[in-house]
Amino acid sequence: MKKLEENIFLIGFMGAGKSTVAAELERQLHIPRAEMDALIVEREGMAISDIFAEKGETYFRDAETALLKDLTEKKGIIISCGGGAVMRDENAALMKQCGKIVLLTATPETIYERVKDSTDRPILNGNMNVDYIRELMEKRKDRYLAVADVVVATDQKSAEEITREILAAFA
Ligand SMILES: Nc1ncnc2c1ncn2[C@@H]1O[C@H](COP(=O)(O)OP(=O)(O)O)[C@@H](O)[C@H]1O
Ligand SMILES: O=C(O)C1=C[C@@H](OP(=O)(O)O)[C@@H](O)[C@H](O)C1
Ligand SMILES: [Mg+2]
């Protein structure tokens, strides 16, 4: 893993821990990390929820694709993706071409506990409940599994444990 030539993409549902685990991977591997949501916020000068509210979801999804194209010019970085990014075929193809894809999973109950106080996940606005999370997860699940090179269940595990499992899978 020291001479990582490809990128590592972290994918999975909101609250699966992509951003948290990406930070832990960066800390352990000393490899730079790109946080897609944070980079979009920086580019747009607006919070994610404001982008959705003022410019719409399609605008946000286009911004994700544009950012991903720029990021996949690079090599050897950890990319923490937004949970919906891989749903676009073009984005999934870019990820497949440019690195290894790690899917983090968690049950709807775990996800709910992790995101219930979040105010910046507009997809869950007005729908912050386990049933809605389960329904949306079901819609996304096949795509997540189809593109993943490695799948790590995160329920009841610390970021350190999850990171260890990811690194073991690539060792
Ligand atoms: N393995 C974990 N165990 C407990 N809490 C976690 C874990 N991973 C992430 N969290 C918490 O869940 C919330 C969402 O995590 P985050 O990394 O932002 O997820 P994502 O980027 O996949 O949406 C944060 O409050 C984070 O601290
Ligand atoms: O799943 C989604 O559609 C989204 C996930 C979010 O990122 P996280 O998965 O890091 O919460 C963020 O990109 C946006 O709110 C949309
Ligand atoms: Mg995140």
What percent of the chain lies above the pLDDT cut of 70?
Answer: 97
Average pLDDT over residues 53-67: 98
**In this structure, which amino acid lies at residue 132?**
Y
Side chain identity at residue 127, one-letter code: N
Q: What is the dihedral of CA 97, 33, 65, 119, to 10 degrees?
A: 140
- Is the pLDDT score of 1 beyond 60? no
**What pLDDT, in 10s, does the model give residues 128-163?**
999 999 999 999 999 999 999 999 999 999 999 999
Tell whether 119 is in a known binding site.
no
The whole-number pLDDT of residue 2 equals 42
Q: Can you tell me which atom of ligand 1 is nearest the CA of 22?
A: 17
Q: What is the mean pLDDT of residues 104-116?
A: 98
Q: Check pocket membership of 123 for ligand 2, CB cut-off 6 A.
A: yes
Q: Is the pTM of this model over 0.95?
A: yes
Q: How confident is the model at residue 53 (pLDDT cuts 50, 70, 90)?
A: very high
CB of residue 91 inside a 6 A radius of ligand 2: no
12 C-beta closer than 6 A to ligand 2: no
User: Could you give all domains of the chain from N- to C-terminal order, each with its CATH number?
Assistant: 7-170 (3.40.50.300)
Residue with CA nearest ligand 2 atom 12: 82
Q: pLDDT confidence of 171, banded at 50, 70, 90?
A: confident
83 in contact with ligand 2, CB cutoff 6 A: yes
Q: Tens digits of per-residue pLDDT, 62-108?
A: 999 999 999 999 899 999 999 999 999 999 999 999 999 999 999 99
Look at residue 6 in the predicted model and tell me its pLDDT.
87
Instruction: Identify the pLDDT of residue 47.
Output: 97
Average pLDDT, the chain: 95
pLDDT bracket for residue 4 (50, 70, 90): low
111 Cβ contact partners less than 8 Å away, ≥ 6 residues apart:
13, 14, 15, 16, 133, 137
Known binder of ligand: residue 84?
Answer: no
pLDDT given at position 143: 98
28-58 burial string, b = 16+ CB within 10 Å, else e? ebebebbbbbebbbeebebebeebbeeeeee
How far apart (Å, rounded) are the C-alpha atoms in residues 161 and 171?
15
